[in-house]
Structure 1
Amino acid sequence: MRVQMEEWRRFIPGVRMYKGKKTLFYNGEKLFGQPFAYDYEERNSWEAIVILPGVEVISAHTFHWCMGVKTVIMADSVRRIEDAAFYCCGSLEFVKLSRNLEYIGKNAFTSCKFTSIFVPPLCREIGHWAFQGCKKLIIFSVSENTELGHAVVDGTILARASPFPTDNDGRHQDEDNEQVNEWIKNRHADNQFSLHRACASHIPAEEVIYNIVKRQGIGTFRKEDNAGVSASQYLSQNPFTDIKEEKIMKRYILDMMGELV
């Protein structure tokens, strides 16, 4: 029996935002035998997927069209997500990728529902259309060393927020693709957005975040980047951290009060 209820909480300490009732704990086995010979009734009953330690590759199409899944959490053993692995998971709201992820295939997360995705810096390649059609996607945190394929975020809020024109479906012209990718990767290159970089890190450090706030002021949490996203939003949606903005603010205020006294 693949579907379980409570044991998932013992899998990764600190995992947040779980909302599902039925969890698939995936150990790498082939699901339902032959490719595309799926039991859709069972697949549509899953509300969360936990990829267990030891799984290194999520094969092509493994979880495509799992329409009830809201949460995906990956063990840090996962190195590759192959083509269309989570294609058209239309309810998928929250993804925690493996810290050791190296590759995301074509159409891997096409037409999902999440608003943010945080790609660890070890990931060196993201295939064509990997997040295309994720209409609500506005936070896409990715290393400048990651090679982005064609139209990776077309059809998203982020695509529309770029300085390059899109059509009615939020798609860029082909000739703009390379410039769009560079814009995405370098949005926080300016030092004024150092807090955004810190809050989006896959290894966020409270002391680093606090020191930036101390230098730039508490209002820096509300400063929006050129896609209209604030540092506060990066911190609150980052799946790799449990640091709370409120704790930083409280420390800042107490330190300021101490200086005044």
Structure 2
Amino acid sequence: MRLEIVDGLKTLFYDGSDICNEDYEYEIYRMKNLDRDGISEEEWDEDSDTEFFVALRLSDECSTYFQERQSWEQVIVLDWVTVIPEKAFIDCYNIKKVIFANTVTEIKSCAFACCRSLVHFKQSIHLERIEDGAFIGCNLYSMFIPPSCRSIGSNDKYRGVFRCNTNLKILNVPQTTHIYNGCNIIEDTKLFKDFSFQENRPLIPDSFPDFHDEIHNWIKNINHEETCALHRACSSYHPLLEVIYAIIERKGLRAFNDKNIIGVTPPMYLKENPYAEITEAEVIRDYILTQLDEKK
């Protein structure tokens, strides 16, 4: 592995090595569960300077390891890496951006858990599985799952894949992807709080067997209605100009500014999707030029 400054960010070029430190894991567990010695709950709150208390109380070796991990601001995964190991980047509070090589097929449990500054993530187009807790406690706004992905999550209802990503509002999941514990993978996100059929639902959804199936269906078909066809087209993994244009042709340019049931417009989908090669300007320009040609 090597470190360089890329786009102003201290970047780790990750080669697939095991970067977990068992001594560090043990010391953190002991501190959090057995030996706080007067450190209050407020001091351990995620919004406080927890890292200060951690660094202060770790052994010298583990403190150095901790500080090194906190210096990483970007991760670029190298071409030959296929698996991101369990807890590989857990508690790396300052990682803002992650870019996968297209060789990555699996993200193991809690691989990026509590990377609370992580806002940008570019997936591998060959990703097959995302395990439970992989992105719990991050700061993602959007996530686009590739068609190759066979499954998301597990039966662990306490570690949802995208749980506690407070600002997560866009989630695109292919129809063929199997989702485990749907309501848990997006619990404590803006998406979960805002979705339309949540009103009048019980506070403990696990007691209703159909709830998970219903939310799985909802996640995969957020824009299933014809009135939201444009949103669905823009949130696909590879938006196509001709598909978007055909919908606008039926509905008119106004449809491009209409919000869907979670308050997201097509331009927002295009902006957030790292695989969108088209822009709102292209769509509008082509539409207007076609209209002008038809009027000649």
TM range (shorter): 0.7 to 0.9
Distance between the aligned counterparts of 1:216 and 1:51, measured in 2?
42
Determine helix, strand or coil for the equivalent of 1:5.
Answer: strand
Q: Distance in 1 between matches of 2:107 and 2:250?
A: 40
2:205 matches 1:173: yes
Deviation by residue 1:9-39 (Cα, 9 ceiling, x = unmatched): xxxxxxxxxx651111111011265474661
> Helix, strand or coil for the counterpart of 1:232?
helix
Partner of 1:80: 106
| Inter-partner Cα distance in structure 2 for 1:52 and 1:74 | 7
Measured after TM superposition, the shift of residue 194 of structure 1 is: 2.4
Matched, 1:27 2:20: no
Runs of 4+ in structure 1 over 4 Å off: 32-38
**Alignment partners' CA distance in 1, 2:119 and 2:137:** 11
* CA-atom RMSD in angstroms: 2.1
Deviations 1:165-185 (A, max 9, x none): 499xxx762233332222111
C-alpha distance in 2, partners of 1:228/1:103? Answer: 29
Q: Aligned residue for 1:182?
A: 217
Match of 2:142 in 1: 116
Of 215, 218, 223, 2:250 maps to 215
Aligned counterparts of 1:203 and 1:36: Cα–Cα separation in 2: 41
Structure 2: segments with no counterpart, 5+ residues: 26-61, 155-159
Paired positions, count: 246
| Number of the residue aligned with 1:196 | 231
What residue in structure 1 maps to residue 120 of structure 2?
94
After superposing the two structures, state which structure 1 stretch, 210-219 or 226-235, moved more. 210-219
Given the superposition, is the C-alpha separation of residues 76 and 83 from structure 1 closer, same or farther in structure 2, using an over 3 Å criterion?
same
Q: Which runs of 5+ in 1 are unaligned?
A: 7-18
Among 187, 190, 194, which residue is 1:154 paired with?
187
Out of 103-112 and 206-215, give the one that drifted further.
206-215
Alignment-mate amino acid for residue 223 of structure 1 = D
2:20/2:87 contact within 8 Å kept:
no
Tell me the distance in 2 between the aligned counterparts of 1:66 and 1:230.
32
Pairing partner for 1:71 from 97, 114, 119:
97
CA distance in 2, matches of 1:51, 1:172: 39
- AA partner of residue 214 (structure 1): E
8 Å contact from structure 1 (residues 52, 75) kept in 2:
yes
After superposition, the Cα gap between the structure-2 partners of 1:35 and 1:104, relative to the gap in structure 1 and judged at 3 Å, is farther
SS at match of 1:145: coil
1:59 and 1:47 mapped to 2: Cα distance?
Answer: 19
Give the Cα–Cα distance (whole angstroms) in 1 for the partners of residues 168 and 253 of structure 2: 26
TM-superposed CA distance for 1:144, in Å, is 2.1
- Shift of the 236–70 alpha-carbon distance from structure 1 to 2, 3 Å rule, reads same
Q: Which residue of 1 aligns with 2:81?
A: 55
Higher helix share: 2
**Contact 1:28–1:55 (CA under 8 A) maintained in structure 2:** yes
Q: Is the Cα–Cα contact under 8 Å of residues 160 and 166 in structure 1 kept in the other structure?
A: no
CA offset at residue 247 of structure 1? 1.5
Which residue in the other structure is 2:153 paired with? 127
Q: CA deviation at 1:209?
A: 2.0
Cα distance between partner residues in 2 of 1:59 and 1:198: 33
User: Could you say what secondary structure the match of 2:118 adopts?
Assistant: coil
Aligned-residue sequence identity (percent) comes to 35
**Change over 3 Å in CA distance of 1:118–1:36 after alignment to 2:** farther
Matches of 2:77 and 2:133, distance apart in 1: 19
Distance 1:23 1:172, change over 3 A: farther
Q: CA deviation at 1:236?
A: 1.1
Equivalent position amino acid for 2:191 in 1: L
TM-score (norm 1): 0.87
Q: Which residue of 2 aligns with 1:15?
A: none
Q: Decide whether the 8 Å contact of 2:150 with 2:176 is kept in 1.
A: yes
What secondary structure, in the 3-state scheme, does the structure 2 residue paired with 1:22 have? strand
Report the Cα offset of residue 107 of structure 1: 0.4
**Secondary structure at 1:30 match in 2:** coil
* Larger gyration radius, structure 1 or structure 2: 2
